[in-house]
Structure 1
């Protein structure tokens, strides 16, 4: 392994990272070229195949070419991103390109495989462009896995805490109404999330001083107001793009419940401000995103943290098809970038908590006007 450059953190860059990118992009290319060769001539699939071939060539140029390494790596990243978007769009339009696995009585969607591999290839492309070494890539990947598991654990802890709180109440009062159970579930979310955050801070020798919570300054207030404007602006922009492109997104499980029982929204509106916003931001911004600062740049931590935040919301949209779920997670990812930026700019947990809470409260209030 030859040492060719150094990142700001001192990681030596080698040609092994573009080698990994070459291997991943080759597999990615196969997942979209096979459907194209089978007669699936949808523009999204053809475009994905073209992007995949470009990505393979760019990674090869990055590894074996002389000079202009950053340009080649940038092209590889952009082309892999093209595959990511095209396969996501194709899945959203109902294409799967399923194929039987040899020796197994099951099949896989080649386009879904292409989407998942493309997401990894984009990350490797970015690492290649930044001249991050294999060791640095491994450290970042390991931390992403650990913090993703932390986020998932937070979800399950919230559910368990809600059940733990509900059982003694049910013993005394009998069966709970949907609204009553939701109140307890929100208390469980606060308790479970706080416990998981506390366990992580203790296990990593971080105390309460790790929490960025203070009285907001005038600058924080400006960021809060501006953040709300940008958040709703981003939602409107994404919605317009989806409508223009014919992209269908999935309904959040809460929206489906609200259609049947609008009264739950009267609980969720204040809960957004008191529980959902503060405690989700505690875990995903002040714990997960801030922990990512250890190995990522601040911009990288915002993006990586938003990937985790979007990923753990899969279950909330799981009743829809994969293409619609991907679209909804894309919206969550985009909105999370705004919240992550607000936290990074202010280093005050209160700012994204208020923005997140107010944003959710307004959405729930709008749903109540529709279904109430």
Structure 2
């Protein structure tokens, strides 16, 4: 974070600087409770007890920071590191079918305490990083506000795709009747471009930004090198992480498009080129050039990459909702890592063309073997 950002945050105010570790303490206490309740009620999973110990360490780090016993440069990394351990361990337990569910009295709702621990601990990681960076309470509020705005924008993008699909299907229905599955697939990918493109253009207009905000450069040999290298990196990461998940006994869910293509391979004639022409370019336009770049205003660049990747992952929950909770979480975890790679490529090149091609070609490469 720059000195200007620190000044705006008001980091010199002792009361304001205590807000962040206080928030971290609250989150870590919630995490401890969410882990100990199922552990004490007979859930036999060693990862829970280790995760609970990590959450207690996080609580201690935030408390000592809150009372001035430890400096932020020491307490922040401890809190972030131990919270990350909690995220990994609770996530692993979930993929093994351990949910630690309880029924909310009076509502008869079943709530997974492990999912609660997973997400709250993920928030603690961010709070620990923020405290280490010297972010104040007011600075944290502004960052959370901007994150919320970007999350809303991402979900508006999903809604816009649906609206665009309905509008594009009208002339087809008027001219040829009810569209076939093949025609619907064409419509859906055209809607993908129209919907996300419209949201991106609308947000630029709302924020009074012109086309200069878009990072598009003429292709060069450097661009080709980044695309080839990025594609090899993201494919290698997919293979490596998938192998580790298999070795750990973790199963992932399938994307809804994968199931659709498996049932009707002819759709691959649309799906494969659409990944390069529509999905890669327009997802990167919204999630990287609009959302990630907008986050640069409040976050460090690495922080913006992480937050934008989290937004990208959350928006894709419905696409992987083809199996149980553990398998969905495994798929989303892989997607988050791959999104980090795309975000880093964009941050390093500052050229939308590079992550757009890497993303589109990667998706196409995943579906290509299904065609043969």
TM range, normalised to the smaller chain?
Answer: over 0.9
| Consecutive unaligned residues in structure 1, runs of 5 or more | none
Q: Work out the CA distance in 2 between the residues paired with 1:216 and 1:139.
A: 36
Q: Once structures 1 and 2 are overlaid, which stretch shifts more, 19-28 or 216-225?
A: 216-225
Contact 1:277 1:354 in 2 (8 A): yes
- 2:324 equivalent to 1:321: yes
Contact 2:6 2:134 in 1 (8 A): no
**Residue of 201, 204, 214 corresponding to 2:204:** 201
Contact 2:72 2:134 in 1 (8 A): no
1:257-291 Cα offsets, whole Å, 9 max, x none, are 11111111110111111111111111111111111
Q: Work out the CA distance in 1 between the residues paired with 2:100 and 2:341.
A: 35
Q: Work out the CA distance in 1 between the residues paired with 2:24 and 2:4.
A: 18
Q: Could you tell me how far 1:8 is from its partner in structure 2?
A: 5.0
**Superposition misfits of 4+ residues, deviation over 6 angstroms:** none
Superposed counterparts of 1:207-356, under 5 Å = 207-356=210-359
Which residue of 1 is the match for residue 14 of structure 2? none
Superposed counterparts of 1:19-30, under 5 Å = 19-30=22-33
Q: Once structures 1 and 2 are overlaid, which stretch shifts more, 201-210 or 315-324?
A: 315-324
Which residue of 2 is the match for residue 109 of structure 1? 112
Superposed counterparts of 1:122-133, under 5 Å = 122-133=125-136
Q: Could you tell me how far 1:7 is from its partner in structure 2?
A: 7.7
Contact 2:6 2:135 in 1 (8 A): no
Q: Work out the CA distance in 1 between the residues paired with 2:171 and 2:109.
A: 45
Contact 2:62 2:79 in 1 (8 A): yes
Q: CA RMSD in A?
A: 1.5
Q: Could you tell me how far 1:355 is from its partner in structure 2?
A: 0.7
Mark the CA change 1:56 to 1:7 in structure 2 (over 3 Å): closer, same or farther. Answer: farther
> Secondary structure at 1:108's aligned position in 2?
strand
- 2:356 equivalent to 1:358: no
The number of aligned residues is 365
1:307-339 Cα offsets, whole Å, 9 max, x none, are 111110001011322211111111111111111
Q: Work out the CA distance in 2 between the residues paired with 1:203 and 1:69.
A: 38
1:144-178 Cα offsets, whole Å, 9 max, x none, are 11111111111111121011111111111112211
Q: Could you tell me how far 1:100 is from its partner in structure 2?
A: 2.1
Contact 2:21 2:127 in 1 (8 A): yes
Mark the CA change 1:338 to 1:211 in structure 2 (over 3 Å): closer, same or farther. Answer: same
- 2:51 equivalent to 1:48: yes
Q: Work out the CA distance in 1 between the residues paired with 2:70 and 2:95.
A: 39
- 2:93 equivalent to 1:90: yes
> Secondary structure at 1:263's aligned position in 2?
helix
Q: Work out the CA distance in 1 between the residues paired with 2:76 and 2:127.
A: 9
TM-score between the two structures when normalised by the length of structure 2: 0.95
Q: Work out the CA distance in 1 between the residues paired with 2:65 and 2:237.
A: 35
Q: Could you tell me how far 1:127 is from its partner in structure 2?
A: 0.8
Which residue of 1 is the match for residue 142 of structure 2? 139
Contact 1:7 1:132 in 2 (8 A): no
1:200-253 Cα offsets, whole Å, 9 max, x none, are 000001011111112122222221111011111111111111011111111100
Contact 2:102 2:110 in 1 (8 A): yes
1:181-210 Cα offsets, whole Å, 9 max, x none, are 111111111111111001100000101111
Which residue of 2 is the match for residue 12 of structure 1? 10
- 2:370 equivalent to 1:367: yes
**Residue of 161, 164, 182 corresponding to 1:161:** 164
Q: Once structures 1 and 2 are overlaid, which stretch shifts more, 285-294 or 101-110?
A: 101-110
Superposed counterparts of 1:166-185, under 5 Å = 166-185=169-188
Q: Could you tell me how far 1:6 is from its partner in structure 2?
A: 6.7
Q: Work out the CA distance in 1 between the residues paired with 2:331 and 2:6.
A: 35
| Consecutive unaligned residues in structure 2, runs of 5 or more | 12-16
Q: Work out the CA distance in 1 between the residues paired with 2:59 and 2:271.
A: 48
